[in-house]
Structure 1
Protein backbone atom coordinates (compact mmCIF):
# COMPACT_ATOMS: atom_id res chain seq x y z
CA UNK A 1 0.00 0.00 0.00
CA UNK A 2 1.26 3.47 -0.92
CA UNK A 3 2.06 5.85 1.89
CA UNK A 4 0.00 9.09 1.93
CA UNK A 5 3.08 11.11 1.04
CA UNK A 6 3.94 8.95 -1.97
CA UNK A 7 0.32 8.95 -3.10
CA UNK A 8 0.27 12.74 -3.00
CA UNK A 9 3.49 12.92 -5.06
CA UNK A 10 1.99 10.66 -7.72
CA UNK A 11 -1.21 12.71 -7.83
CA UNK A 12 0.78 15.93 -8.20
CA UNK A 13 2.82 14.39 -11.03
CA UNK A 14 -0.35 13.27 -12.84
CA UNK A 15 -1.87 16.74 -12.47
CA UNK A 16 1.31 18.35 -13.85
CA UNK A 17 1.50 16.00 -16.83
CA UNK A 18 -2.20 16.51 -17.51
CA UNK A 19 -1.76 20.29 -17.59
CA UNK A 20 1.16 19.92 -19.98
CA UNK A 21 -0.88 17.62 -22.23
CA UNK A 22 -3.84 20.02 -22.26
CA UNK A 23 -1.60 22.97 -23.16
CA UNK A 24 0.10 20.94 -25.91
CA UNK A 25 -3.27 19.82 -27.29
CA UNK A 26 -4.52 23.40 -27.41
CA UNK A 27 -1.34 24.44 -29.18
CA UNK A 28 -1.72 21.61 -31.70
CA UNK A 29 -5.35 22.52 -32.40
CA UNK A 30 -4.32 26.15 -32.93
CA UNK A 31 -1.67 25.09 -35.46
CA UNK A 32 -4.21 22.92 -37.33
CA UNK A 33 -6.74 25.74 -37.47
CA UNK A 34 -4.17 28.15 -38.87
CA UNK A 35 -3.02 25.58 -41.43
CA UNK A 36 -6.59 24.87 -42.57
CA UNK A 37 -7.31 28.56 -42.88
CA UNK A 38 -4.18 29.07 -44.97
CA UNK A 39 -5.03 26.08 -47.17
CA UNK A 40 -8.56 27.33 -47.74
CA UNK A 41 -7.24 30.76 -48.58
CA UNK A 42 -4.91 29.21 -51.15
CA UNK A 43 -7.73 27.14 -52.60
CA UNK A 44 -9.88 30.23 -52.75
CA UNK A 45 -7.07 32.07 -54.49
CA UNK A 46 -6.64 29.28 -57.02
CA UNK A 47 -10.38 29.12 -57.62
CA UNK A 48 -10.49 32.88 -58.07
CA UNK A 49 -7.57 32.74 -60.50
CA UNK A 50 -9.19 29.92 -62.47
CA UNK A 51 -12.52 31.73 -62.48
CA UNK A 52 -10.87 34.94 -63.67
CA UNK A 53 -9.03 33.11 -66.47
CA UNK A 54 -12.25 31.41 -67.59
CA UNK A 55 -14.10 34.71 -67.51
CA UNK A 56 -11.35 36.36 -69.56
CA UNK A 57 -11.47 33.58 -72.16
CA UNK A 58 -15.27 33.80 -72.29
CA UNK A 59 -15.11 37.56 -72.70
CA UNK A 60 -12.60 37.13 -75.52
CA UNK A 61 -14.85 34.63 -77.31
CA UNK A 62 -17.88 36.84 -76.81
CA UNK A 63 -16.12 39.97 -78.07
CA UNK A 64 -14.55 38.24 -81.08
CA UNK A 65 -16.15 38.45 -84.48
CA UNK A 66 -17.56 35.10 -85.55
CA UNK A 67 -16.76 33.07 -88.64
CA UNK A 68 -19.46 30.43 -88.90
CA UNK A 69 -18.65 27.42 -91.07
CA UNK A 70 -22.00 25.87 -91.96
CA UNK A 71 -21.52 22.49 -93.53
CA UNK A 72 -21.59 18.69 -93.56
CA UNK A 73 -19.09 15.97 -92.63
CA UNK A 74 -16.25 17.82 -94.37
CA UNK A 75 -16.71 20.69 -91.93
CA UNK A 76 -17.45 18.41 -88.97
CA UNK A 77 -14.21 16.48 -89.50
CA UNK A 78 -15.75 13.06 -89.92
CA UNK A 79 -13.33 10.23 -89.11
CA UNK A 80 -10.66 12.43 -87.52
CA UNK A 81 -9.41 11.81 -83.99
CA UNK A 82 -9.76 15.48 -83.12
CA UNK A 83 -12.37 17.82 -84.61
CA UNK A 84 -9.77 20.62 -84.42
CA UNK A 85 -7.86 18.79 -87.15
CA UNK A 86 -10.70 19.56 -89.56
CA UNK A 87 -10.23 22.61 -91.77
CA UNK A 88 -12.23 25.04 -89.55
CA UNK A 89 -9.87 24.30 -86.64
CA UNK A 90 -6.84 24.79 -88.88
CA UNK A 91 -8.29 28.09 -90.06
CA UNK A 92 -8.58 29.15 -86.40
CA UNK A 93 -4.89 28.39 -85.91
CA UNK A 94 -4.01 30.56 -88.90
CA UNK A 95 -6.14 33.39 -87.53
CA UNK A 96 -4.58 33.11 -84.07
CA UNK A 97 -1.10 33.17 -85.58
CA UNK A 98 -1.93 36.55 -87.11
CA UNK A 99 -3.54 37.71 -83.84
CA UNK A 100 -6.79 38.57 -85.58
CA UNK A 101 -9.94 39.02 -83.51
CA UNK A 102 -12.04 36.24 -85.01
CA UNK A 103 -13.47 33.04 -83.58
CA UNK A 104 -14.28 30.18 -85.95
CA UNK A 105 -17.51 28.35 -85.12
CA UNK A 106 -17.71 24.81 -86.53
CA UNK A 107 -21.35 24.20 -87.45
CA UNK A 108 -20.77 21.03 -89.42
CA UNK A 109 -23.11 18.03 -89.18
CA UNK A 110 -22.12 14.74 -90.80
CA UNK A 111 -24.59 13.63 -93.44
CA UNK A 112 -26.14 17.09 -93.73
CA UNK A 113 -27.97 17.98 -96.93
CA UNK A 114 -29.09 21.39 -98.12
CA UNK A 115 -32.58 20.46 -96.93
CA UNK A 116 -31.26 19.80 -93.44
CA UNK A 117 -29.35 23.05 -93.61
CA UNK A 118 -32.55 24.98 -94.29
CA UNK A 119 -34.12 23.43 -91.19
CA UNK A 120 -31.35 24.53 -88.81
CA UNK A 121 -30.17 27.80 -90.32
CA UNK A 122 -32.20 30.05 -88.01
CA UNK A 123 -30.70 28.40 -84.92
CA UNK A 124 -27.14 28.62 -86.27
CA UNK A 125 -27.57 32.30 -87.07
CA UNK A 126 -27.84 33.01 -83.34
CA UNK A 127 -24.03 33.05 -83.51
CA UNK A 128 -24.25 36.43 -85.31
CA UNK A 129 -21.57 35.74 -87.92
CA UNK A 130 -19.42 38.45 -89.40
CA UNK A 131 -18.41 35.92 -92.07
CA UNK A 132 -20.52 32.94 -93.10
CA UNK A 133 -18.93 30.04 -94.97
CA UNK A 134 -21.54 27.86 -96.67
CA UNK A 135 -20.28 24.34 -97.30
CA UNK A 136 -23.27 22.22 -98.31
CA UNK A 137 -24.43 20.34 -101.38
CA UNK A 138 -22.07 17.38 -101.65
CA UNK A 139 -24.50 14.97 -100.00
CA UNK A 140 -27.28 16.18 -102.28
CA UNK A 141 -25.13 15.35 -105.28
CA UNK A 142 -24.08 11.93 -104.01
CA UNK A 143 -27.75 11.09 -103.44
CA UNK A 144 -28.83 12.37 -106.82
CA UNK A 145 -31.12 15.05 -105.39
CA UNK A 146 -32.67 17.12 -108.20
CA UNK A 147 -30.39 20.07 -108.88
CA UNK A 148 -33.22 22.57 -108.77
CA UNK A 149 -34.04 21.50 -105.24
CA UNK A 150 -30.40 21.84 -104.16
CA UNK A 151 -30.20 25.26 -105.77
CA UNK A 152 -33.38 26.45 -104.07
CA UNK A 153 -32.21 25.23 -100.67
CA UNK A 154 -28.84 26.94 -100.98
CA UNK A 155 -30.59 30.12 -102.09
CA UNK A 156 -32.88 29.87 -99.07
CA UNK A 157 -29.89 29.64 -96.73
CA UNK A 158 -28.21 32.60 -98.42
CA UNK A 159 -31.42 34.63 -98.17
CA UNK A 160 -31.78 33.81 -94.47
CA UNK A 161 -28.26 35.06 -93.73
CA UNK A 162 -28.69 38.24 -95.76
CA UNK A 163 -32.08 39.02 -94.25
CA UNK A 164 -30.91 38.69 -90.68
CA UNK A 165 -27.40 40.10 -91.10
CA UNK A 166 -27.17 42.24 -94.25
CA UNK A 167 -23.53 43.17 -93.60
CA UNK A 168 -22.32 39.57 -93.15
CA UNK A 169 -19.89 38.44 -95.82
CA UNK A 170 -20.80 35.07 -97.32
CA UNK A 171 -18.33 32.61 -98.80
CA UNK A 172 -19.73 29.74 -100.87
CA UNK A 173 -17.67 26.57 -101.08
CA UNK A 174 -17.87 25.05 -104.55
CA UNK A 175 -18.17 21.29 -104.91
CA UNK A 176 -17.77 18.73 -107.68
CA UNK A 177 -18.90 15.13 -108.07
CA UNK A 178 -17.19 11.97 -109.33
CA UNK A 179 -17.95 11.15 -112.97
CA UNK A 180 -20.02 8.07 -112.13
CA UNK A 181 -22.98 10.37 -111.36
CA UNK A 182 -23.34 11.05 -115.08
CA UNK A 183 -21.81 13.73 -117.25
CA UNK A 184 -24.84 16.01 -117.46
CA UNK A 185 -25.62 15.89 -113.75
CA UNK A 186 -21.99 16.39 -112.64
CA UNK A 187 -21.47 19.31 -115.01
CA UNK A 188 -24.64 21.09 -113.95
CA UNK A 189 -23.84 20.41 -110.30
CA UNK A 190 -20.38 21.93 -110.69
CA UNK A 191 -21.78 25.03 -112.39
CA UNK A 192 -24.46 25.52 -109.73
CA UNK A 193 -22.04 27.06 -107.22
CA UNK A 194 -20.40 29.77 -109.36
CA UNK A 195 -23.86 30.60 -110.67
CA UNK A 196 -25.20 31.18 -107.15
CA UNK A 197 -22.09 33.13 -106.17
CA UNK A 198 -22.48 35.44 -109.13
CA UNK A 199 -26.20 35.92 -108.64
CA UNK A 200 -25.85 36.79 -104.94
CA UNK A 201 -22.50 38.60 -105.12
CA UNK A 202 -20.77 36.04 -102.88
CA UNK A 203 -17.14 35.08 -102.43
CA UNK A 204 -16.46 31.70 -104.02
CA UNK A 205 -14.08 28.86 -103.23
CA UNK A 206 -14.01 27.26 -106.71
CA UNK A 207 -13.62 23.69 -105.40
CA UNK A 208 -13.22 22.95 -101.69
CA UNK A 209 -11.62 19.54 -102.36
CA UNK A 210 -9.15 20.84 -104.94
CA UNK A 211 -5.92 18.79 -104.82
CA UNK A 212 -7.57 16.36 -102.37
CA UNK A 213 -10.60 14.80 -104.07
CA UNK A 214 -9.76 11.50 -105.75
CA UNK A 215 -6.26 11.30 -104.21
CA UNK A 216 -6.19 8.11 -102.13
CA UNK A 217 -3.29 9.15 -99.90
CA UNK A 218 -5.20 12.24 -98.73
CA UNK A 219 -8.49 10.49 -98.05
CA UNK A 220 -9.70 7.98 -95.52
CA UNK A 221 -10.54 4.38 -96.46
CA UNK A 222 -13.99 5.41 -97.73
CA UNK A 223 -12.30 7.49 -100.42
CA UNK A 224 -14.57 10.45 -99.63
CA UNK A 225 -13.52 12.04 -96.35
CA UNK A 226 -10.09 13.70 -96.14
CA UNK A 227 -7.40 12.66 -93.72
CA UNK A 228 -5.76 15.15 -91.37
CA UNK A 229 -3.27 15.94 -94.15
CA UNK A 230 -6.12 16.35 -96.58
CA UNK A 231 -7.79 18.86 -94.29
CA UNK A 232 -4.60 20.91 -94.27
CA UNK A 233 -5.07 21.37 -98.01
CA UNK A 234 -8.79 22.13 -97.60
CA UNK A 235 -7.83 24.82 -95.09
CA UNK A 236 -5.45 26.33 -97.63
CA UNK A 237 -8.20 26.36 -100.27
CA UNK A 238 -10.47 28.21 -97.85
CA UNK A 239 -7.71 30.50 -96.56
CA UNK A 240 -6.86 31.72 -100.05
CA UNK A 241 -10.35 33.26 -100.23
CA UNK A 242 -10.84 34.11 -96.56
CA UNK A 243 -7.55 35.83 -95.73
CA UNK A 244 -8.05 38.89 -98.01
CA UNK A 245 -11.49 39.40 -96.44
CA UNK A 246 -10.06 39.39 -92.91
CA UNK A 247 -7.50 42.06 -93.82
Structure 2
Protein backbone atom coordinates (compact mmCIF):
# COMPACT_ATOMS: atom_id res chain seq x y z
CA UNK A 1 0.00 0.00 0.00
CA UNK A 2 1.19 3.49 -0.67
CA UNK A 3 0.06 6.71 0.86
CA UNK A 4 0.16 10.43 0.21
CA UNK A 5 1.95 12.33 2.94
CA UNK A 6 3.42 15.81 2.85
CA UNK A 7 2.40 16.05 -0.79
CA UNK A 8 4.51 13.03 -1.81
CA UNK A 9 3.85 9.36 -2.50
CA UNK A 10 5.63 7.03 -0.08
CA UNK A 11 5.89 3.26 0.13
CA UNK A 12 5.39 2.10 3.70
CA UNK A 13 8.47 0.13 4.70
CA UNK A 14 6.74 -3.01 5.89
CA UNK A 15 7.78 -6.66 5.58
CA UNK A 16 5.37 -7.07 2.68
CA UNK A 17 7.11 -4.31 0.73
CA UNK A 18 7.75 -6.49 -2.34
CA UNK A 19 4.17 -7.66 -2.72
CA UNK A 20 2.82 -4.20 -2.11
CA UNK A 21 5.15 -2.68 -4.65
CA UNK A 22 3.97 -5.20 -7.24
CA UNK A 23 0.36 -4.28 -6.46
CA UNK A 24 1.36 -0.64 -6.67
CA UNK A 25 2.79 -1.20 -10.16
CA UNK A 26 -0.33 -3.09 -11.30
CA UNK A 27 -2.42 -0.20 -9.99
CA UNK A 28 -0.73 2.30 -12.25
CA UNK A 29 -0.56 -0.06 -15.21
CA UNK A 30 -4.35 -0.28 -14.92
CA UNK A 31 -4.54 3.49 -14.70
CA UNK A 32 -2.40 3.84 -17.81
CA UNK A 33 -4.57 1.41 -19.77
CA UNK A 34 -7.75 3.10 -18.62
CA UNK A 35 -6.48 6.55 -19.50
CA UNK A 36 -5.48 5.32 -22.95
CA UNK A 37 -8.72 3.43 -23.41
CA UNK A 38 -10.95 6.39 -24.08
CA UNK A 39 -12.26 6.11 -27.61
CA UNK A 40 -12.61 9.06 -29.94
CA UNK A 41 -16.37 8.83 -29.60
CA UNK A 42 -16.21 8.93 -25.81
CA UNK A 43 -13.88 11.94 -25.87
CA UNK A 44 -16.20 13.71 -28.32
CA UNK A 45 -19.17 13.04 -26.04
CA UNK A 46 -17.26 14.29 -23.00
CA UNK A 47 -16.28 17.47 -24.83
CA UNK A 48 -19.85 18.03 -25.99
CA UNK A 49 -21.21 17.59 -22.46
CA UNK A 50 -18.60 19.96 -21.06
CA UNK A 51 -19.44 22.52 -23.72
CA UNK A 52 -23.17 22.26 -23.09
CA UNK A 53 -22.68 22.64 -19.34
CA UNK A 54 -20.63 25.80 -19.78
CA UNK A 55 -23.19 27.28 -22.17
CA UNK A 56 -26.11 26.47 -19.87
CA UNK A 57 -24.36 27.77 -16.75
CA UNK A 58 -23.18 30.99 -18.33
CA UNK A 59 -26.65 31.59 -19.79
CA UNK A 60 -28.46 31.12 -16.49
CA UNK A 61 -25.95 32.61 -14.04
CA UNK A 62 -24.61 35.70 -15.80
CA UNK A 63 -25.13 37.75 -12.61
CA UNK A 64 -22.54 35.71 -10.69
CA UNK A 65 -18.80 35.41 -10.94
CA UNK A 66 -17.48 32.26 -12.56
CA UNK A 67 -14.98 29.62 -11.47
CA UNK A 68 -14.09 27.26 -14.30
CA UNK A 69 -12.46 23.92 -13.43
CA UNK A 70 -10.52 22.80 -16.50
CA UNK A 71 -9.19 19.29 -16.16
CA UNK A 72 -9.31 15.56 -16.78
CA UNK A 73 -11.22 12.65 -15.19
CA UNK A 74 -10.50 13.90 -11.67
CA UNK A 75 -12.39 17.09 -12.42
CA UNK A 76 -15.01 15.35 -14.57
CA UNK A 77 -15.93 12.99 -11.73
CA UNK A 78 -15.27 9.82 -13.70
CA UNK A 79 -17.08 6.75 -12.36
CA UNK A 80 -19.41 8.57 -9.99
CA UNK A 81 -23.13 7.85 -10.21
CA UNK A 82 -23.78 11.57 -10.11
CA UNK A 83 -21.27 14.18 -11.27
CA UNK A 84 -22.79 16.47 -8.65
CA UNK A 85 -20.58 14.49 -6.26
CA UNK A 86 -17.39 15.54 -8.08
CA UNK A 87 -15.19 18.08 -6.33
CA UNK A 88 -16.34 21.09 -8.45
CA UNK A 89 -19.91 20.52 -7.24
CA UNK A 90 -18.69 20.16 -3.65
CA UNK A 91 -16.92 23.50 -4.05
CA UNK A 92 -20.23 24.99 -5.21
CA UNK A 93 -21.89 23.74 -2.03
CA UNK A 94 -19.22 25.41 0.07
CA UNK A 95 -19.61 28.65 -1.85
CA UNK A 96 -23.40 28.61 -1.57
CA UNK A 97 -23.24 27.96 2.17
CA UNK A 98 -21.30 31.21 2.56
CA UNK A 99 -23.66 33.16 0.34
CA UNK A 100 -20.93 33.99 -2.15
CA UNK A 101 -22.00 34.80 -5.70
CA UNK A 102 -19.83 32.40 -7.66
CA UNK A 103 -20.86 29.70 -10.10
CA UNK A 104 -18.54 26.70 -10.47
CA UNK A 105 -18.37 25.18 -13.96
CA UNK A 106 -17.06 21.66 -14.45
CA UNK A 107 -15.06 21.55 -17.68
CA UNK A 108 -13.38 18.21 -17.04
CA UNK A 109 -12.89 15.62 -19.80
CA UNK A 110 -11.89 12.07 -18.91
CA UNK A 111 -8.62 10.98 -20.48
CA UNK A 112 -7.61 14.55 -21.26
CA UNK A 113 -3.91 15.31 -21.71
CA UNK A 114 -2.22 18.70 -21.63
CA UNK A 115 -2.13 18.59 -25.44
CA UNK A 116 -5.88 17.96 -25.49
CA UNK A 117 -6.44 20.81 -23.08
CA UNK A 118 -4.33 23.11 -25.21
CA UNK A 119 -6.42 22.21 -28.27
CA UNK A 120 -9.73 23.15 -26.62
CA UNK A 121 -8.73 26.13 -24.50
CA UNK A 122 -9.38 28.62 -27.31
CA UNK A 123 -13.05 27.70 -27.25
CA UNK A 124 -13.36 27.60 -23.48
CA UNK A 125 -11.70 30.97 -23.01
CA UNK A 126 -14.50 32.64 -24.95
CA UNK A 127 -16.53 32.43 -21.74
CA UNK A 128 -16.13 35.02 -19.01
CA UNK A 129 -14.13 33.54 -16.14
CA UNK A 130 -13.11 35.12 -12.86
CA UNK A 131 -11.09 32.12 -11.70
CA UNK A 132 -9.57 29.43 -13.91
CA UNK A 133 -8.52 26.21 -12.15
CA UNK A 134 -6.06 24.25 -14.32
CA UNK A 135 -5.91 20.54 -13.43
CA UNK A 136 -4.10 18.62 -16.16
CA UNK A 137 -1.01 16.47 -16.61
CA UNK A 138 -1.68 13.15 -14.89
CA UNK A 139 -2.34 11.38 -18.19
CA UNK A 140 0.82 12.88 -19.64
CA UNK A 141 2.87 11.52 -16.79
CA UNK A 142 1.37 8.04 -16.88
CA UNK A 143 2.06 7.85 -20.60
CA UNK A 144 5.64 9.00 -20.17
CA UNK A 145 5.21 12.17 -22.20
CA UNK A 146 8.39 14.24 -22.23
CA UNK A 147 8.41 16.69 -19.32
CA UNK A 148 9.35 19.49 -21.70
CA UNK A 149 6.19 18.83 -23.72
CA UNK A 150 3.91 18.77 -20.67
CA UNK A 151 5.49 21.95 -19.38
CA UNK A 152 5.15 23.67 -22.75
CA UNK A 153 1.48 22.69 -23.10
CA UNK A 154 0.60 23.92 -19.61
CA UNK A 155 2.48 27.15 -20.23
CA UNK A 156 0.62 27.60 -23.52
CA UNK A 157 -2.73 27.21 -21.74
CA UNK A 158 -1.67 29.74 -19.11
CA UNK A 159 -0.49 32.16 -21.79
CA UNK A 160 -3.75 31.92 -23.73
CA UNK A 161 -5.82 32.58 -20.61
CA UNK A 162 -3.58 35.51 -19.67
CA UNK A 163 -3.76 36.98 -23.18
CA UNK A 164 -7.48 36.61 -23.80
CA UNK A 165 -8.76 37.03 -20.26
CA UNK A 166 -6.17 39.13 -18.38
CA UNK A 167 -8.44 39.75 -15.41
CA UNK A 168 -8.88 36.03 -14.73
CA UNK A 169 -7.10 34.57 -11.70
CA UNK A 170 -5.38 31.29 -12.55
CA UNK A 171 -5.03 28.47 -10.03
CA UNK A 172 -2.65 25.65 -10.94
CA UNK A 173 -3.31 22.20 -9.47
CA UNK A 174 -0.20 20.05 -9.19
CA UNK A 175 -0.04 16.30 -9.66
CA UNK A 176 2.41 13.59 -8.60
CA UNK A 177 3.38 10.23 -10.03
CA UNK A 178 4.24 6.92 -8.35
CA UNK A 179 7.89 5.97 -7.82
CA UNK A 180 7.78 3.17 -10.38
CA UNK A 181 7.72 5.81 -13.11
CA UNK A 182 11.37 6.46 -12.31
CA UNK A 183 12.90 8.76 -9.73
CA UNK A 184 14.20 11.38 -12.14
CA UNK A 185 10.95 11.54 -14.09
CA UNK A 186 8.68 11.69 -11.02
CA UNK A 187 10.83 14.35 -9.38
CA UNK A 188 10.92 16.41 -12.55
CA UNK A 189 7.18 15.97 -13.05
CA UNK A 190 6.41 17.23 -9.55
CA UNK A 191 8.82 20.13 -9.92
CA UNK A 192 7.46 21.38 -13.23
CA UNK A 193 4.21 22.42 -11.52
CA UNK A 194 6.04 24.32 -8.81
CA UNK A 195 8.22 25.99 -11.43
CA UNK A 196 5.24 27.03 -13.55
CA UNK A 197 3.42 28.41 -10.52
CA UNK A 198 6.45 30.44 -9.48
CA UNK A 199 7.29 31.64 -12.99
CA UNK A 200 3.73 32.80 -13.66
CA UNK A 201 2.94 33.93 -10.12
CA UNK A 202 -0.05 31.60 -9.86
CA UNK A 203 -2.11 30.43 -6.93
CA UNK A 204 -0.85 26.89 -6.43
CA UNK A 205 -2.20 23.57 -5.11
CA UNK A 206 0.93 21.36 -4.83
CA UNK A 207 -0.93 18.04 -5.03
CA UNK A 208 -4.65 17.95 -5.75
CA UNK A 209 -4.96 14.31 -4.59
CA UNK A 210 -3.31 14.94 -1.24
CA UNK A 211 -4.61 12.43 1.35
CA UNK A 212 -6.57 10.61 -1.39
CA UNK A 213 -4.08 9.21 -3.91
CA UNK A 214 -3.27 5.60 -3.06
CA UNK A 215 -5.82 5.34 -0.24
CA UNK A 216 -7.99 2.34 -1.19
CA UNK A 217 -11.00 3.39 0.87
CA UNK A 218 -11.15 6.75 -0.90
CA UNK A 219 -10.91 5.41 -4.43
CA UNK A 220 -13.33 3.48 -6.59
CA UNK A 221 -13.01 -0.23 -7.37
CA UNK A 222 -10.58 0.57 -10.18
CA UNK A 223 -8.23 1.85 -7.50
CA UNK A 224 -7.76 5.01 -9.51
CA UNK A 225 -10.56 7.54 -9.33
CA UNK A 226 -11.79 9.10 -6.08
CA UNK A 227 -15.04 7.99 -4.49
CA UNK A 228 -17.65 10.45 -3.28
CA UNK A 229 -15.76 10.70 0.01
CA UNK A 230 -12.52 11.08 -1.88
CA UNK A 231 -13.91 13.98 -3.86
CA UNK A 232 -14.92 15.70 -0.63
CA UNK A 233 -11.29 15.59 0.48
CA UNK A 234 -10.12 16.82 -2.92
CA UNK A 235 -12.59 19.71 -2.60
CA UNK A 236 -11.18 20.55 0.84
CA UNK A 237 -7.67 20.59 -0.59
CA UNK A 238 -8.73 22.90 -3.41
CA UNK A 239 -10.72 25.06 -1.01
CA UNK A 240 -7.63 25.89 1.05
CA UNK A 241 -6.19 27.72 -1.96
CA UNK A 242 -9.44 28.90 -3.53
CA UNK A 243 -11.19 30.45 -0.51
CA UNK A 244 -8.77 33.39 -0.06
CA UNK A 245 -9.35 34.32 -3.70
CA UNK A 246 -13.11 34.70 -3.37
CA UNK A 247 -14.62 38.11 -2.78
CA UNK A 248 -17.71 38.59 -0.66
Asked if Structure 1 and Structure 2 have the same fold, meaning a TM-score greater than 0.5 normalized by the shorter chain, the answer is yes
CA distance in 2, matches of 1:181, 1:147: 13
TM-score norm. by structure 1 comes to: 0.75
RCO comparison, higher one (Cα < 8 Å, 6+): 2
The equivalent of 1:109 in structure 2 is 109
- 1:118 equivalent in alignment to 2:105: no
1:68–1:127: 8 Å Cα contact kept in structure 2?
no
- 5+ residue gaps, structure 1: 1-56
Deviations 1:121-178 (A, max 9, x none): 0111122110000000000001100000000000000000000111110000010001
TM-score norm. by structure 2 comes to: 0.75
What stretches of structure 1 move > 2 A for 4+ residues in a row?
A: 57-60
- 5+ residue gaps, structure 2: 1-56
Count of residue correspondences:
191
Bigger fraction of residues in helix? 1
Q: CA RMSD in A?
A: 1.3
CA distance in 2, matches of 1:58, 1:164: 18
* SS class of match (2:61): helix
CA distance in 2, matches of 1:185, 1:223: 22
The equivalent of 2:87 in structure 1 is 87
Deviations 1:53-92 (A, max 9, x none): xxxx987611111100000000000000011100000000
Greater Rg over alpha carbons, structure = 1
* SS class of match (1:217): helix
CA distance in 2, matches of 1:102, 1:58: 11
